[in-house]
Structure 1
Amino acid sequence: MELEKRGVGERSPEGCLVVAIRMPVRIVVLVLVVPVRMAWDALVVGGRLLRDTVLRPLGRALVWLGRVLVVVPLVGAYRWVLTPIGHTLVWLARRAGDMLAWVYARVLAPIGRAAEWVLRRVGLVLAAVGAAVFAGAARLVRWLLVAPGKWCWTWILTPAGRALARCARGLWWVLAAVAAGVGAVLYWTCRVLLVLPALALWRWVLTPAGRGLAWCGRALWRWVLVPVGRALAVVGREVADALGHAWRVAGRISLAVGRFLGAVLRRLVVEPVRWAYRRVLTPVGHAVRDAVLRPAARVARQVGRGTRQAFAAARDIARQARADLRRALLGEPRPVARREPVVAETRTLETRTGREVSPPTRG
């Protein structure tokens, strides 16, 4: 189909190998891909049906169940158990903190100040004693160790070290000369016995052999591997194109099969059920509603109305009986005169001072 959609000028030049491979490959791939595509479409439809009818309601039920069994109890426990306990612990912590602050201010701080004063005085005494002891020990060390050690370093160790250094330099010169001679002998021996033969072997044997192998490799690449690779590339490209073409054709075939099955299901199941619902169940339901349900509902409303009226009459009778019993036991209640609320008069300057104020006159 893609080859038919392309223009004549857009077609790339194709060889006889491509034309000979294309049709068999496409036929074989189409035969293999059509069942796979139909199975894939069936799985997709079944998965959507399973998701809409089973998994989604199950997920909603699980969410509701988790909310009822986990979230609501946890919220209630947090609100009615953990929050009061936390407030209580905070109150106790505050009271404990206030008590510790009082203990620190009233007990520990005075004890610490007293201990600091005592330790300071003891430290001053120990510092004076230590200074005296250190001064005496320093003088003893100076006269007993430092002065003899200095004399020994100047007149004994220094001359001996210089003599040993001269001997070591002479010995090093002798060893260096011997090592240089031995190294020269080993160098010329290895050069004559190993390096020159290896160089000749590389120049006259390995280099021509390597050039021959390189020529053979280039010939093999040019005349064998490149043609085989091109043929395999053509076959792979044709197989890929055939897979795409077969997948699209299989989609159309699967769509046609699905529509046919849908039409068969609609003809055999849906339309009979719809006809039975419209022609049989709906008239029967209307008849049952008009003949049974509506009269039953009307009777139920009348019974409910009569029941409510009977309960209202019973309440009135009970109220009247209680009033008669109270009147027989306690007598007639005395009428209570109701006092109307007195509206306070508006306060004016005349009522407050007791005299009339004349309006001001204009000059």
Structure 2
Amino acid sequence: MARVIALVIVLPVRLVWDALGYCLKQLWRWVLAPIGRALGWLIHHLIVIPLRFLWEWVFVPVGRALWWVIDLLVVTPLKWLWGWVLFPVLKALWWVVDLLVVTPLGWLWRYVLAPVGRAVGAALAWAWDVAGRISRAVGRALGWVLWNLIGRPLAWTYRVILTPVGHWLRTWVWAPVASVARAVRAAAREVRVALFGGPR
């Protein structure tokens, strides 16, 4: 029964599909393909062949003629100008610049500026080294003076006066005050417990 229902539903769809496929095949065979061939023939004979003729008989000869004119009127004169005028002038200018500027500057650098620079650099390095030694000696002397004027008296005062005074204050002042404070706290706790009750 299910197969019969499926066949009844699928059969019309398949018939329409096959009919559509047949119609499209006939349309392609008898209409679209001949129109395409005709359009291809027209494009070939009306566009491709004239463009090929135009390229071979107009553009290429005109391009060759233009290149010949450009070569004759521009390229060849520029080559001649470069080879016989610009290059010799530039060569002569370079010779003059080398003779009047480069060679004297090289000589000046080699025999004057470089030796003077080396001498100045050596003098500055020596001065820097000597200044460093002097600075270290001054620093040691200043440290010795500061230690003997300030550091040694402060160390003596701390060791001889402040340390014994601190021990005396800790033993005879701080310890009794701390024990009295503990006794006062304990008494206050007992009063609070007596008046308000202890913690729950």
Q: Does the alignment reach a TM-score above 0.5?
A: yes
Residue identity opposite 1:217 in structure 2:
V
Residue identity opposite 2:32 in structure 1:
G
- 2: distance between equivalents of 1:159 and 1:170? 17
Name the counterpart of 1:208.
92
Q: Deviations over 1:184-225 (max 9, x none)?
A: 011110135433223322233211111121233342233212
Shift in CA distance, 146/285, structure 1 to aligned 2, threshold 3 Å: same
Name the counterpart of 1:248.
133
One of 167, 179, 202 as aligned partner of 2:50: 167
1:225 correspondence with 2:100 = no
Structure 2 counterparts to residues 202-351 of structure 1, below 5 A:
202-226=86-110, 227-277=112-162, 281=165, 288=172
Shift in CA distance, 172/255, structure 1 to aligned 2, threshold 3 Å: same
SS at match of 1:249: helix
Residue identity opposite 1:160 in structure 2:
L
1:139 correspondence with 2:49 = no
SS at match of 2:15: helix
1:123 Cα offset (Å): 9.6
Name the counterpart of 2:197.
none
SS at match of 1:215: helix
Name the counterpart of 1:150.
33
- 1: distance between equivalents of 2:122 and 2:60? 74
Shift in CA distance, 127/260, structure 1 to aligned 2, threshold 3 Å: farther
Shift in CA distance, 287/224, structure 1 to aligned 2, threshold 3 Å: closer
Name the counterpart of 1:6.
none
TM-score by length of 2: 0.67
Q: CA RMSD in A?
A: 3.7
SS at match of 2:130: helix
Shift in CA distance, 170/234, structure 1 to aligned 2, threshold 3 Å: same
% identical aligned pairs: 15
Shift in CA distance, 125/223, structure 1 to aligned 2, threshold 3 Å: farther
Gap regions ≥5 residues in structure 1: 1-121, 301-363
Where relative contact order (Cα < 8 A, 6+ residues apart) is larger, the structure is 1
Residue identity opposite 1:163 in structure 2:
H
Gap regions ≥5 residues in structure 2: 183-200
1:184 correspondence with 2:68 = yes
Residue identity opposite 2:45 in structure 1:
A
TM-score by length of 1: 0.40
1:181 Cα offset (Å): 1.0
Count, aligned residues: 173
Residue identity opposite 2:42 in structure 1:
A
- 2: distance between equivalents of 1:126 and 1:225? 105
1:262 Cα offset (Å): 1.1
